[in-house]
Amino acid sequence: MPRKFIVGGNFKLNGSQSSLQTLVEGLNQGNLDSNVEIVVSPPFVYLDQVRKAVRKDVAVAGQNCYSKASGAYTGEVAAEMLKDIGIEWVILGHSERREIFKETDDEIGLKVAHALKAGLKVMACIGEKLEEREANKTTEVVVRQLAAIAKHVSDWTNVVIAYEPVWAIGTGKVATPDQAQEVHKDIRAWLKEKVSAEVAEATRIMYGGSVNGGNAATLAKEEDIDGFLVGGASLKPEFVTICNAKARM
């Protein structure tokens, strides 16, 4: 079975009721490729607004969730709460969570396990920093991060891996298609060796890092790039162009 292309829009800490209404209207009116799975991820306080307003063939994701269902965890949001308001997906392990909020590999693994148990689909993020790439440690880093997630996953059906080189996120720098494909190929090879050939073949691996309307179609041509996790460009009309990148090949 061919892997269905997937595009996620991570709005990060951006948006208002008004601006997100405009963005959703653009998606609703857009001519989106029906062969692509599309997921958008607004800030928590706008999840319900976006879910109710966006077209039914576009899913909605939380940008994070905690590893517990309830309790004295001020400021946290549970996977069960996301499910309760009709959210299908969650992004976990994003580099900004790792870097700014000091989330560890093990914490992210536990979050992934809990989110899956709660019935959410997970975009699990991994990726290296610039100094790690320059030290030729890219594979070492992404494999370490992936292993911490994999040990908590018994069924990969609802997991998508998002490879996001940290040095390319929001910087305008983009991994070349060859660079991105090389890492995606290594991730798939690790899955084949450590999990199973079936999981390696079926699991989708997204690329994230300054994807835009100009470079998406070129990146989409690579064999092991199964989609994009888009940051800043997901807040712009060009997000529709990115969603249709596979159709423009």
pLDDT tens profile 197-229: 999 999 999 999 889 999 999 999 999 999 999
**Alpha-carbon span 47 to 62, nearest angstrom:** 7
Tell me, rounded to whole angstroms, the distance of Cα 243 from its chain centroid.
Answer: 14
Residue 241: pLDDT band with limits 50, 70, 90 = very high
Q: Which of 107, 128, 132, 164 is catalytic?
A: 164
Q: What is the pLDDT of residues 180-192, one digit of tens each?
A: 999 999 999 999 9
Quick one: what percent of the chain has pLDDT higher than 90?
A: 92
| Prediction pTM value | 0.97
Q: Whole-angstrom Cα distance, residue 60 to residue 82?
A: 10
Query: Residue 51: which of 68, 63, 39 has the closest Cα?
Result: 39
Active site residue 94: yes
- Can 164 be counted among the known catalytic residues? yes
**Are residues 187 and 163 in contact, defined by beta-carbon separation less than 8 angstroms?**
yes
The one catalytic residue in 37, 80, 94, 96 is 94
Using a 10 angstrom Cβ sphere, with 0-12 exposed, 13-18 middle and 19 or more buried, the burial of residue 68 is middle
Task: Categorize the per-residue pLDDT at 115 as very low, low, confident or very high, splitting at 50, 70 and 90.
Answer: very high
pLDDT in tens, 28-49: 999 999 999 999 999 999 999 9
Residue 249: its pLDDT value, please? 60
C-alpha 173/C-alpha 47 separation (Å) is: 30
If you write DSSP's letter for every residue of 151-200 in order, what string do you get? TT-S--TTEEEEE--GGGSSSS----HHHHHHHHHHHHHHHHHHT-HHHH
